């Protein structure tokens, strides 16, 4: 069978295109563009032509040119390194160069290959049209004089007259196809030196001046660069304002990158052709962050136990392995608080324990714990007993989840029963033609995406997992993924389309799990989520996703946490020292652990490695055994104990963050532009200076104005100066603000680093005068 393939929008991958797409996908009027064409099998077609028509006028016939250099590309994603990553596509690739029609006119084109004609495709001319800035309506809040709302709507009257503290609006432009506005572009004045922070969890920089960043939730899988799992359309400026764009659609910020005297917002529009911007003004960055976080929140407070040590590895796929690793930790006197299990389920349903025996039930029913038998020689002989064993040691358990109904191979009867019911009831996201949307990215490709906006689908999905909370007593879920949504015209149960939900989907997914989980556990539960969007602070906690074990990734992760904090996410963590690839050096591991000890969440995790030896687990004992550095275990233990000693302070600051919306990690550069981008306040009183370079025993720090005390020695320093300080491997430069009252939990020796239980009451309040 001969195929002639052209898909103008392709899979709608946010950043990459296939050879059979249109380049660009949506060209402007009069703009040249390329029609990509694939023909299969190779050599079957000798000549390809593209026929054109603009409205009713026949246009030229364009001879397509073969591309002799086309090569299939490598795929990337979780687990891709263990599979054949080269796309096995045998085809010829062609391209033809066309020109987009004038504004409002429609180009129709079709492809002919050796006399075989394909379907017709259309493209309507679109262009940018200027509007007067004074058509934008601005109003000041009647309850908060530091808050302003800007309404932008096509063909609507408005006024920007009067005094206001916002940046000058230089231009308003509408992208129109002749019938409606598709996008708006707003240009604002930008003085030299203005810094920009936020826009979600950003790995590339802290100050985003000079960058062009889009707002799109996306799974990059390591080396994120300018891409992010957790995009939030909020920018904090050093010029005394923050701006929140109240839209879930795609948008892009050009922050003085193209022109140094202006920043530009470009945003897709819905059918109402409008956009709303909320501005927060004032001299205090924290006050602006507070206002934004409270307006889109509030931030929910995780339980106290979440602030202890978390342990995890993808190869812990049996009860025996879990018990072994926990006993190892306790034997080394490294006391964990949370255990995360990813490889616990049957890998089909993701709610049934691997190796469990049971009689499959109807797809509309939910199994209970007593429906299962667990073989004594199986992977999980007694899940409930294991949970009780962990709880007896004050260790909480989270189980991994993903919002995808995995593609079925027909071998799991329960999964098949669930699939038939899922399809029958329409519990998945749908394509525009009504068929169920199938996941397009590499990870879980061809699975169905759970429609979390569909009330019955939400209840059905979650009730399948109810026994884990109600009968086993697990303490939450690691809600992974959520970035699986490609396709602007997909349909959801609540009537919205993909272009409205591809950003907000992970927030809806995790919030559904959070509400369900906390209700079942009386509030004593938590999530651990990778992706998110505006309002994700309502369903904590978040972590920075997949990263390599490199110094560069370590630095990027700190920036990501600080940017997330600016964007309303106060409870955040990361896989300390990375989770992927070869293990980190002992130095990188301990420097990362020292930073993580002064971070909202302290967690280590390791990627699946096919159980190959030597182990790539990121446990302290494996890192010590692999590197031969005998400092690893004692130093890691010391850092965890210090965290326990400071837990009264950490818990105090966590409560403050939830109450106010302020981040627990506050970048020092928000106040002091000459500060290193990796320094931050941990809570209100501690200044943390992570060591982020290899092979150093001293480290440059900046102390802001005021008086400061070294946390370890209580030595006093005057601020407003740069210092080179000693940075041995078992310490991190940390300073206490003069005047602080620091609650701590001591051992008998009243020394940092001596173990006390995580829940120990404060034994003393240290006064720094």
Q: Positive or negative CA dihedral for 79, 85, 91, 93?
A: positive
Looking at residue 322, its pLDDT comes to 98
Two tokens, residue 585: 């050096």
What is the number of residues in the chain?
Answer: 769
Residue 358 CA to residue 362 CA, distance in Å, equals 13
Alpha-helical runs (H) found in 30-125: none
Which distant-in-sequence residues (6+ apart) come within 8 Å of 739 by Cβ? 768, 769
Residue 234 CA to residue 673 CA, distance in Å, equals 20
Q: Residue 705 — φ and ψ, nearest 5°? A: -55, 145
- Three-class SS of residue 76? coil
Question: What residues are labeled active site?
Answer: 480, 483, 546
Which distant-in-sequence residues (6+ apart) come within 8 Å of 244 by Cβ? 233, 234, 277, 278, 279, 280, 292, 295, 296, 534
CB 344 within 8 A of CB 413: no
- Three-class SS of residue 278? strand
Looking at residue 571, its pLDDT comes to 98
Q: Crossing angle for the helix pair 632-645 and 586-596, nearest 10 degrees?
A: 0
DSSP code of 304? G
DSSP code of 223? -
The 10 Å Cβ neighbour count of residue 83 is 10
User: Pairing relation of β-strands 48-54 and 57-63?
Assistant: antiparallel
Which distant-in-sequence residues (6+ apart) come within 8 Å of 398 by Cβ? 338, 339, 340, 341, 474, 475, 476, 477, 478, 526, 527, 528
Residue 302 CA to residue 529 CA, distance in Å, equals 13
CB 573 within 8 A of CB 601: yes
SS (H, E, C) 340-374: EECCCECCCCCCCECCCECCCCCCCCCCCHHHCEC
- Given a cut of 50, the residues of the chain with pLDDT beneath it are 81-86
The 10 Å Cβ neighbour count of residue 112 is 17
Two tokens, residue 756: 């006390």
CB 684 within 8 A of CB 743: no
Residue 202 CA to residue 557 CA, distance in Å, equals 9
**Model confidence pLDDT, tens digit, residues 125-169:** 999 999 988 779 999 999 999 999 999 998 776 666 667 899 999
pTM over 0.75: yes
CB 276 within 8 A of CB 304: no
Q: Positive or negative CA dihedral for 318, 323, 329, 331?
A: negative
Strand segments (E) across 41-146? 48-54, 57-63, 65-66, 92-99, 106-113, 116-124, 127-131, 137-140
Residue 213 CA to residue 197 CA, distance in Å, equals 12
* Sequential DSSP letters for 128-194: EEEE-GGGSEEEE-SS-TTEEEEEEETT------S--SSPPEEEEEEEE-SSSEEEEEEEEE--TT-
SS3 content of the chain, % helix, strand, coil (to 5): 20, 30, 50
**Model confidence pLDDT, tens digit, residues 77-106:** 555 544 444 456 889 999 999 999 999 999
CB 276 within 8 A of CB 149: yes
């Amino acid at each position: 069978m001969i195929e002639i393939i052209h898909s103008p929008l392709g899979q709608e991958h946010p950043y990459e295109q296939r050879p059979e797409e249109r380049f660009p996908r949506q060209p402007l009027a009069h703009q040249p563009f390329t029609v990509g064409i694939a023909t299969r099998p190779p050599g079957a077609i000798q000549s390809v032509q593209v026929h054109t028509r603009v409205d009713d006028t026949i246009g030229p016939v364009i001879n397509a040119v073969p591309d002799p250099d086309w090569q299939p590309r490598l795929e990337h994603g979780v687990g891709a390194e263990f599979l054949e990553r080269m796309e096995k596509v045998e085809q010829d690739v062609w391209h033809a160069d066309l020109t987009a029609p004038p504004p409002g006119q429609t180009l129709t084109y079709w492809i002919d290959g050796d006399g075989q004609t394909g379907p017709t495709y259309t493209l309507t001319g679109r262009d940018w049209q200027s509007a007067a800035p004074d058509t934008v309506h601005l109003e000041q809040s009647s309850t908060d004089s530091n808050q302003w709302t800007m309404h932008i709507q096509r063909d609507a009257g408005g006024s920007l007259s009067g005094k206001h503290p916002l940046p000058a609006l230089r231009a308003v432009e509408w992208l129109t196809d002749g019938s409606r506005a598709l996008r708006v572009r707003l240009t604002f004045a930008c003085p030299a030196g203005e810094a920009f922070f936020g826009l979600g969890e950003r790995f590339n920089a802290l100050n985003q001046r000079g960058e062009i960043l889009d707002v799109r939730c996306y799974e990059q899988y390591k080396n994120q660069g300018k891409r992010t799992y957790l995009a939030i359309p909020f920018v904090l400026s050093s010029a005394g304002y923050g701006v929140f764009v109240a839209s879930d659609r795609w948008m892009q910020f050009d922050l003085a990158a193209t022109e140094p005297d202006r920043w530009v917002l470009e945003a897709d529009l819905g059918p109402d052709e409008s956009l709303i911007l909320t501005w927060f003004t004032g001299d205090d960055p924290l006050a602006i962050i507070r206002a934004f976080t409270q307006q889109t929140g509030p931030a929910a407070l995780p339980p106290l136990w979440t602030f202890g040590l978390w342990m995890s590895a993808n190869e812990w796929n049996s009860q025996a392995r879990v018990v072994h690793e926990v006993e190892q930790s306790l034997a080394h006197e490294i006391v964990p608080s949370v255990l995360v299990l990813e490889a616990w389920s049957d890998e089909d349903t993701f709610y049934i324990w691997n190796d469990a025996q049971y009689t499959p039930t109807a797809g509309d029913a939910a199994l209970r714990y007593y429906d299962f038998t667990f073989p004594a020689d199986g992977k999980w002989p007694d899940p409930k007993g294991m949970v009780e064993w962990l709880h007896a040691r004050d260790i909480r358990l989270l189980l991994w989840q993903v919002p995808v109904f995995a593609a079925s191979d027909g071998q799991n009867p329960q999964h098949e029963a669930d699939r038939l019911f899922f399809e029958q009831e329409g519990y998945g996201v749908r394509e525009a033609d009504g068929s169920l949307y199938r996941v397009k990215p590499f990870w879980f490709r061809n699975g169905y995406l759970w429609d979390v906006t569909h009330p019955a689908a939400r209840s059905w999905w979650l009730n399948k997992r109810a026994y884990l909370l109600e009968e086993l007593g697990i303490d939450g879920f690691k809600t992974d993924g959520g970035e699986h949504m490609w396709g602007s015209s997909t349909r959801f149960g609540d009537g919205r389309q993909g272009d409205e939900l591809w950003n907000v989907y992970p927030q809806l997914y995790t919030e559904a799990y959070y509400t369900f989980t906390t209700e079942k556990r009386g509030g004593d539960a938590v999530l651990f989520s990778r992706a998110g969007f505006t309002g994700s602070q309502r369903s904590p906690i978040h972590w920075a996703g997949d990263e390599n074990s490199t110094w560069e990734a370590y630095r990027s992760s700190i920036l990501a946490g600080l940017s997330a904090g600016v964007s309303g996410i106060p409870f955040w963590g990361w896989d300390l020292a990375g989770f992927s690839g070869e293990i980190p050096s002992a130095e990188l591991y301990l420097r990362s652990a020292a930073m993580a000890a002064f971070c909202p969440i302290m967690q280590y995790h390791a990627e699946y490695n096919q159980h190959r030896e030597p182990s790539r687990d990121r446990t302290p004992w494996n890192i010590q055994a692999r590197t031969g550095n005998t400092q690893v275990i004692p130093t890691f233990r010391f850092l965890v104990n210090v965290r326990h000693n400071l837990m009264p302070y950490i818990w105090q600051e966590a409560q403050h963050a939830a109450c106010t919306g302020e981040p627990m990690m506050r970048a020092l550069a928000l106040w002091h532009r000459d500060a290193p981008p990796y320094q931050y306040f941990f809570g209100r009183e501690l200044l943390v200076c992570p060591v982020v370079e290899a092979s150093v025993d001293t480290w440059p720090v900046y102390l802001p104005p005021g008086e400061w005390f070294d946390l370890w020695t209580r030595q006093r320093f005057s601020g407003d100066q740069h210092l080179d300080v000693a940075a041995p491997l078992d310490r991190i430069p940390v300073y206490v603000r003069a005047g602080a009252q620091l609650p701590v939990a001591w051992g008998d020796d009243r020394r940092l680093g001596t173990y006390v239980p995580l829940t120990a009451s404060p034994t003393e309040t240290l006064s720094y005068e």
